[in-house]
Structure 1
Amino acid sequence: MLDVLIRKLESRDDLSRSQREAILNLPCEHRTARPGDLIVKEGERQTTSLMLICGFAGRFALLGNGGRQFTELAVPGDFMDLHSLVMKRLDHSVLAISDCNMATIPHRALRELIARDPHLGRLFWLETVVDAAIHRVWLVGLGRQDAQARMAHLFCETQTRLDAVGLADQDGFDFPLSQAELADVLGLSAVHVNRTLMSLRSAGLMEWRDGRVTIGDWKRMVQTAEFEPLYLRLWKEPV
């Protein structure tokens, strides 16, 4: 169940056989969610952390006027709420965007594993550091990039993150969001999202059809997005 987590961790540092076994032996329960299900509710006390096995989910905040802003997308291999290990209560909620399979891991088991193996503890810490880096990059995009660059950046980021866990290829990747959800990720209106998609498509940069994104010209897409994947920390180096 936790193989995808191991693939993700090993994209950043080597794991020994005993470390892989320790992760696979973590006590966990299988949980599923349907699109639109609330996975984690803002303010509720958490005693477990959820690791996404398959599907897409999103962290989001609601405004008083009913508006919604996604602050990060979770892809397979991601902990959706690892920071609840120390925060206990979260200041945001997590929503299933597609059908999701998840592993629920007790905080007690995570604390015991980290105490036994500081190297794994540092790798889990790195997971939360990368989460914060993604938030910073999204903040810059929302504040300073135009719609076309913002959308191109999201697609470049998603392709890169999915590729790290073997779920993207040269032809593209599955992207099960609706246009309304994409609007809430990018901070745009649905009309503006549709117009921006048409602009990227007419430029030959990408296609989004039947829940799958195909990037037609990666080099130009990266240039349009000003995408620099340093913040994702996807190279191997001891932590």
Structure 2
Amino acid sequence: MANRFIDKLEAFGPLSAQAVAALAKATSRPRKMPAKHDLIREGDRPGPVFVMLEGWAYRYKVLPSGTRQVLAYLMPGDCCDLHIGLLAEMDHSIQTITPSLVAMVGRPEMDTLLDEHRGIAKAMYTAQLVDEGIMRAWITSMGRRASIERVAHLMCELYLRARNIGLADGETFALPLSQLLLADSLGMTPVHLNRVLKELRVAGAMTLARGSLIIADPGKLIQIAGFDANYLHRRLRQAA
């Protein structure tokens, strides 16, 4: 059975056979998680490193008013909170979106992996830098992109990330995100998001319906978004 976590790290640089075996062992006892299950909540003591082997999850914060801000999406192969153990408590929550298969790598085991395998350490740090690049892109969208640009940019990003791990084939892929969840990640109301999605559909760029994203005109969607994929750093291995 494929291990998308190992596949992702190998995309950032070569790993020795020993490193691959160590990663496979560390993620060999995953747990099945239902949809809408909090892996960890804000205020909890930091736990293990969560590795998404199957399914989607998201980071979020809830404000005192009860409103929610989605901070990031986690796809198969992603892990989170490599260094959060240095802090006293979590400053955000992580919840599954779909039924998921999640490996939990304890802090001592993760420290051993990083100490004993230089290739793993380099790949993990690179993955963390890419996550930070995605966060910077989201901040830029929230602060400077118009609503239609913001939505188009996120759709481009999610499609490219899904394609890079084999979840998208052609110009259609399953996107298990409700409009409410998307609105909370874009800083928009669901009603406003619905209007923007209609604009993109009428423009012939894309359609979001029944859990699927259909990119009708990739060039038009990229143009609307002003999308440049350099922040996802998919050229790292080729340049290494």
TM-score w.r.t. structure 2 length?
A: 0.93
Identity, % of aligned pairs?
Answer: 32
Query: Using a 3 Å threshold, how does the CA distance of structure 1 residues 83 and 154 change in structure 2: closer, same or farther?
Result: farther
2:225 maps to which residue? 225
2:196 maps to which residue? 196
2:71 maps to which residue? 71
Residues 66-145 of structure 1 mapped to structure 2, 5 A cutoff: 66-87=66-87, 89-145=89-145
Shift of 1:36: 2.0
Shift of 1:219: 1.4
Residues 156-215 of structure 1 deviation map (CA, whole Å, 9 limit, x = unaligned): 101111111111111322111111111101110010011011111111111112211011
Shift of 1:43: 2.2
Task: Specify the SS of the correspondent of 1:167.
Answer: coil
Residues 131-167 of structure 1 deviation map (CA, whole Å, 9 limit, x = unaligned): 1111111011011111111111111101111111111
Amino acid at match of 1:180: L
Residues 1-239 of structure 1 mapped to structure 2, 5 A cutoff: 3-26=3-26, 28-87=28-87, 89-235=89-235, 236-237=237-238
Contact 1:14 1:238 in 2 (8 A): no
Query: Using a 3 Å threshold, how does the CA distance of structure 1 residues 2 and 61 change in structure 2: closer, same or farther?
Result: farther
Shift of 1:238: 6.9
Query: Using a 3 Å threshold, how does the CA distance of structure 1 residues 19 and 167 change in structure 2: closer, same or farther?
Result: same
Moved more, 209-218 or 87-96: 87-96
Query: Using a 3 Å threshold, how does the CA distance of structure 1 residues 26 and 190 change in structure 2: closer, same or farther?
Result: same
> How many residues were matched structurally?
239
Moved more, 42-51 or 134-143: 42-51
Task: Specify the SS of the correspondent of 1:10.
Answer: helix
Separation in structure 1 between the aligned mates of residue 229 and residue 88 of structure 2, nearest angstrom: 30
TM-score w.r.t. structure 1 length?
A: 0.93
Query: Using a 3 Å threshold, how does the CA distance of structure 1 residues 218 and 86 change in structure 2: closer, same or farther?
Result: farther
Query: Using a 3 Å threshold, how does the CA distance of structure 1 residues 161 and 25 change in structure 2: closer, same or farther?
Result: same
Query: Using a 3 Å threshold, how does the CA distance of structure 1 residues 139 and 62 change in structure 2: closer, same or farther?
Result: same
Q: CA RMSD in A?
A: 1.8
Segments of 5+ residues of structure 2 without an aligned counterpart are none
Amino acid at match of 2:204: G
Amino acid at match of 1:36: K
Contact 1:98 1:177 in 2 (8 A): no
